[in-house]
Copies of this chain bind each other. A is one copy, B any other.
């Protein structure tokens, strides 16, 4: 039985114009979002991932460094890079306000492309199902 969503393998798409370092960042973020990467987990070493992805170590370092600035990972000189504890403690009210702002800006963008809220909800629901599916089948 494959372990599915629980393994983290980075894949780069040279086409599409999305820069490598941004692809790495996105994949780390998504992996955290759906639970494949948990706080404390060590990321691949800069050099290791560079070899695996066949790219320059600087490019990996850049991705990791941006993740660190955003507080998503923590890096310890000479030790490695780890997923942070992610404690953005916000009060309930504050959380709602933040979510409101995020959603509003997202909806504005999405509706510029002609997507309706209903469509977006459908899409998210599908994504959610896939996620829980992955978790359920891998245990």
Set of chain B residues within 8 Å of A91, measured between Cβ atoms: 93-94
Q: Tell me whether B26 and A105 are in contact (CB under 8 A).
A: yes
Main secondary structure of the interface of A (DSSP, over half): helix
Q: Tell me whether A2 and B116 are in contact (CB under 8 A).
A: yes
Q: Tell me whether B124 and A103 are in contact (CB under 8 A).
A: yes
Q: Tell me whether B9 and A114 are in contact (CB under 8 A).
A: no
Is A46 engaged at the interface, CB distance under 8 Å to the other chain? no
Is A90 engaged at the interface, CB distance under 8 Å to the other chain? yes
Set of chain B residues within 8 Å of A66, measured between Cβ atoms: 69
Q: Tell me whether B110 and A99 are in contact (CB under 8 A).
A: yes
A108 to B4, CA, bound (A): 13
Q: Tell me whether B119 and A1 are in contact (CB under 8 A).
A: yes
- Give the size category of A's interface with B: 35 or more
Rounded to whole Å, the gap between the CB of A112 and the closest CB of chain B is: 4
Set of chain B residues within 8 Å of A13, measured between Cβ atoms: 105, 109
Q: Tell me whether A109 and B30 are in contact (CB under 8 A).
A: no
Is A22 engaged at the interface, CB distance under 8 Å to the other chain? yes
Is A81 engaged at the interface, CB distance under 8 Å to the other chain? no
Chain A residues with CB under 8 Å of chain B are 1-5, 9-11, 13-14, 17-19, 22-23, 26-27, 29-34, 36, 56, 66, 69-70, 72, 74, 76-77, 79, 86, 88, 90-91, 93-96, 98-100, 102-125, 127-128, 131
